[in-house]
Each structure stands twice: as structure tokens, then as C-alpha cells.
Amino acid sequence: MSPAGPRLSLLDLATVGRDQPIGAALETSVTLAQKADSLGTFERLWFAEHHNMPSIASAATAVLLAHVAARTERIRVGSGGVMLPNHSPLVIAEQFGTLAELHPDRIDLGLGRAPGTDQVTMRALRADPRASERFPDDVLELQGYLSDESLVPTINAIPGRGTKVPLYILGSSLFGAQLAARFGLPYAFASHFAPDALQQAVEVYRREFRPSAQLAEPYAIAALNVVVADEQDHAEALAASVLRSRVRSLASRVPAYAGRLDEAALDALMDSPVAAQARHMMTYSAVGDITTVRDYLERFAEHAQADELMVTNAAPGLDNRLRALELLAS
């Protein structure tokens, strides 16, 4: 991007392709991280916590962050996010405090209130279904563990205490926007898959923001999908493949389609409500050559009132994704 364009960062789900070994998918994420790091354009690289999803390998988020941070030099790495209701604040403080001690001033801690999975998997995680109700208090407790003074008498995060790992609130609704504003924290909106409340949430966040020790002024991040290639036609073909993958992923969760998703069945689904849902989730998607995508990013940043854009590099294939990073950094 040009110096005048919006700040860019990356969201990587450690996507596992069909019939791809998980180890190979993780190595792909490392290769992309090293490429992004070498280009010097991208502010940060985040991985998201999801569970029981065959196409996503970032469930052990802190472990993956440690691996990626050790193999990069400059780029900030972090969670986008850790689903705090699945964990105790102390354990997360210890994990990210360890990362911060190993990689000073390079670690971000984005926090989400959703479980990042379904109800059955929540039980397997031993997560309390009511834990999300404690999310605001848990954020403050976690922040205390990472500061110089814990809010819980006699309990300290070691490592963690004094690292002041920056917190970010993630969300796709007004709840997260209001919480981030009240606590004076940066806010990241998941508009790459939940587009509906983007503008309203950011407006509420900016209007209600209260300065804090971490942040003097509101800072909003908006996420979107990007498929960029040297030629417009190539980008559009890649984007069509991305859409088919999203439809396959959504349909695989419907019992009626389980085990029946060959290419012919997927063709039939492209005019179904499942495909309509996938298209809606991808409302904010920049597709095309770099001129087209650069223009979209600048317009989207203004539309979202965003200080920074979090890009999902959605194209299939390592070569296509590496080229996308080069184009975005040009």
C-alpha cells in the first residue's frame, strides 16, 4: 500500500486445505508470516482460536504464536482472538506473559467473548456456558495480572506481571464496542464474516470511548477478505474458489449434507440459502488487481472509520497468497 493508505495487518486462521496434512498447513502459515515480516508493510499478524473445525489449525493459539514469533523478527504477532470464556484469566496471562518475555514489544492479546465453537465442543473444553457473562470482569482481572499490580490479592502471573501486553477487544456487535470504549481499549470488528453491525459498532465505540492507561484515543480495526492477483480475471477466479470453500464449510455443518459434498453436490448448493449466507458473510471483500484492491481498501477504511485494516489473505494456494502479500506491500 502507499504511505497514504490505511495501515494493514493480517489475520491467518492456519487454514487446512482438503487432504492437506495439518503440519503442512502450519508450515504454510510460518512461510506466510516470514514473507509478511520481510516486506515490512504489515503492522501485525493475528491467529484466531477455533475448536473442532477440520479446516482451521489455530486452536492452540498461544503455542502457534510462539512458533511464529520465534521464526520472525519484526512483525507483531497476537491473537485475534483468544476466546476468554474458555480459559482462566490467570492462565492466559501466564501464556502471553511468557510470549512477551520471549519476544518483547511484539505480542498482542485480542480477546473475544464467544466460545469459538459449538455447544458440544464447549462441554468437551469444560467451559462454563455462563462464562461469557463474566467476560468484562475477566478482562479486568487479566489486565491486572499483566500490569504491575494484580486485582486478586496474593495472586500474580509469573511470567506476566509487569509485561503490560496490550489488550484488544474483538467483536461483531455493540456489546464489544461498548466494552472496549468503557475500558479504553482498542476495538477490532469481525467484519470479514459478520458485516451487519460494522458502522454502528464503530460509531458507538468512538462516541463512548474513555481514555485509559493503555490508550489515549479510540483505535478501531476492521477486518475484510482480500483476494488480489496480478490480473483481474485471475483474482475473480480465485475468489470464486474461496466462495465454494466457504459454502462447503457451512454446508458440512448441516446433517443433511454430511458426507455428500462432492463437486456435483457443491455445484447444486451454489444457488441455495447456504451459498447466500456465505456471500453475505463475505460482504466486505476486496477482489481484483492491486489497483482495484487498493481503491477498495481506502474506501472501506473510510466506510468503517477504521484506523487499521485486518486482512484475511483468502486466495487458495501458497504461491497465490505469497504474491498477494507482495502486491499489498507494493
Which residues in the chain belong to E strands, given as ranges?
Answer: 7-12, 44-47, 76-83, 107-112, 167-171, 187-189, 220-228, 285-288, 308-313
What the block records as the C-alpha cell of 123 is 462441554
What is the reported pTM? 0.93
Quickly state the pLDDT bin for 260 (edges 50, 70, 90). Answer: low
What is the C-alpha to C-alpha distance for residues 13 and 17, in angstroms, rounded to an integer? 12
Res 259: pLDDT:
61
Res 4: pLDDT:
57
pLDDT tens for each residue of 175-203: 999 999 999 999 999 999 999 999 999 99
DSSP H or E run through 37? helix 22-39
Domain ranges of the chain: 7-234+285-329
Residue 263, pLDDT above cutoff 80: yes
The correct CATH number of 7-234+285-329 out of 2.150.10.10, 3.20.20.30, 3.20.20.140, 3.10.580.10 is: 3.20.20.30
pLDDT tens for each residue of 200-246: 999 999 999 999 999 999 999 999 999 999 999 999 999 999 999 89
Please say whether the beta carbons of 225 and 284 come within 8 A: yes
Phi-psi region of 53 (alpha: psi -120 to 50; beta: other; left: phi over 0): beta
Mean pLDDT of the chain: 93
